[in-house]
Amino acid sequence: MTRVLAIALIAVFSASWVSAGADGAGLTEADPQDVARTWDAARVYLPTADVSMRPSSMADLQNFTERHEELFPIAIHLHGCSGFWQGTDRRGRYLASLGFVVIAPDSFARTNKPQSCDPATHEGGFFRGTLALRHAEAAHAIARVRKLPWVDKEKMVLTGHSEGAIATATLGAEHTVGLKARVIEGWGCNAFWQEYAGLNSSPDLPVLSLVGNRDPWFRLSFLQGDCGEFMKNASSRSVVYGEPPLKTVHSLLDYGRPREDLRDFLCDNVHCAAGQQQ
């Protein structure tokens, strides 16, 4: 990176650029065994009576599905640039409370996973190839989910927070066959680098994006804006929060109103929680 670009990245969200030589989806140089580790080490959240429990493992998931005959809606959740944190658990538990089985691949289960940002200083872009890694992880998880016999194939959603939201927004449509929606939290789809700007969703896929209009990660002018200008159908929603405290919040799903917006979007397009009407 030139000195100019390095300076420009100060205070930039963990925008991860496609690695040199990778194709448009960022999957060419993926190590299949390394990608599989992210799936095997995933955190799992189950739609049980007590969704406040600790996250489960893939082994717990197998035991759970063997005890139930019904099909389950599923959410694949992509964590942010620093990996699993308490907010990952909050998102997983909330989606589980809406009736979803939630699988959150662990990007840091790779044998060599550079951290691309410093959340304490809102600095990012430390490793150019991060987006390619995250695309590979998401595509692998979706492919694995499609093969699971207990998954309701009409109720699959991809969600992402922060860096995971960039991957959710930009993953090529060819890798998302079967998805019914994408949810983008803490990313506005605007960027100087073309490879991670905009939405790569199919024309008819509903997309929900949630962003504060003064998100501290997006202070630079070329990062400001929201995903609305890139949305392709009437079922998609770009929600920009302009009132305090949400206007300056990056992790919006820690708050009640964004959770309600997510719940209503999922009910309209994927799956209704108990007590909701579609």
Q: Is residue 275 part of a domain?
A: no
Q: Looking at the domain assignment, is residue 223 inside a domain? A: yes
Tens digits of per-residue pLDDT, 260-271?
999 999 999 999
SS3 12: strand
- Could you tell me if residue 152 is inside a domain? yes
- 13-17, 81-85, 147-151, 216-220, range with the lowest pLDDT: 13-17
Position 277 in a domain:
no
Count other Cβ atoms within 10 Å, centred on residue 74. Answer: 25
Q: How many residues does the chain have?
A: 278
Confirm whether 176 is domain-assigned: yes
For the cut 50, the answer to whether the pLDDT of residue 17 exceeds it is no
Q: Which of 249, 246, 209 is nearest to 227 (CA)?
A: 209
Omega of the bond leading into 32 within 30 degrees of 0 (cis): no
Asked whether the beta carbons of 35 and 243 are under 8 A apart, the reply is: no
pLDDT tens, residue by residue, 1-11: 333 333 333 33
Look at residue 94 in the predicted model and tell me its pLDDT. Answer: 97
Q: How many CB atoms lie within 10 A of CB 54?
A: 10
- Whether residue 98 is contained in a domain is answered as yes
Closest-CA residue to 131 (of 193, 85, 174):
193
- The answer as to whether 274 is a domain residue is no
Query: Can you tell me the mean pLDDT for 15-41?
Result: 61
Q: Is the dihedral of CA 277, 177, 199, 215 positive or negative?
A: positive
Average pLDDT for residues 232-240, to the nearest whole number? 98
